[in-house]
Amino acid sequence: MKKIIMAVVISMGCAGLSSAESMAGKIGVGVRNDTFDVRYFVNDSFGVHAGTSMDFYHPDAGNKSSSYTYDAGAFYSKEITDGLLFQAGLTGTYVTGKDEGVSFNQMTYNPYVGAEFLYKGRFGFDFKVIPVSYTTISETGADAKAWAGGYGSVGAHIYF
């Protein structure tokens, strides 16, 4: 939570350093938490994004674990002031893999609100607050569904 509050303070404090610029047609390449992320602004008010990551763990004894994450979503973007954008959207995340030899599949839906600070329209730093999240998990021999919330994420992108 401290990271999210710090991101808001930095974003708002730096808003005066940037200038207004159209984001329509720009592609952003960067990271979000531990995920490689690509963003595309369809126009100044709407964008889409996709990301992926992999995780491998091989203990000295026992079965190895691995997971592959794929996410995609869309967002609404509204410029609050020069270089500071309000964003709200929905991300769907699919995770598949093996945890100590047991296969699993997980699907999560995350609505979010957040903001992005743009420096000269080329570098973006953003944060998301995920107030609620719905997850379905399917493991070998067991299925589960869960509601959660109170998550956040930060990302940084270079726009072309």
Mean confidence (pLDDT) of the chain: 86
Long-range contacts of 130-137 (CB under 8 A, 24+ apart): 133/108, 133/109, 134/108, 134/109, 135/106, 135/107, 135/108, 135/109, 136/106, 136/107, 136/108, 137/104, 137/105, 137/106
Q: pLDDT, tens digit, for every residue of 11-28? A: 544 444 444 578 899 999
Domain range holding 42? Answer: 2-159
Q: pTM for the complete prediction?
A: 0.80
Structure tokens, 154: 């930060």
- pLDDT, residue 34, reads 86
Work out how many domains the chain is built from and give that number: 1
Torsions phi, psi of 37, nearest 5? Answer: -135, 140
Q: pLDDT, tens digit, for every residue of 27-62? A: 999 999 889 999 999 999 999 999 999 988 877 667
Q: Which of 18-27, 68-77, 95-104 shows the highest mean pLDDT?
A: 68-77
- What CATH number is associated with residue 83? 2.40.160
- The DSSP secondary structure of 57-84, one letter per residue, reads E--SSS--EEEEEEEEEEEEEEEEETTE
Band (pLDDT 50/70/90 cuts) for residue 129 is: very high
Bigger pLDDT: 124 vs 5: 124
How large a percentage of the chain has pLDDT more than 70?
86
CA distances from 20 to 38, 56, 155, 160 (A): 22, 42, 21, 16
- Listed in sequence order, the DSSP H helices in the chain are 2-14
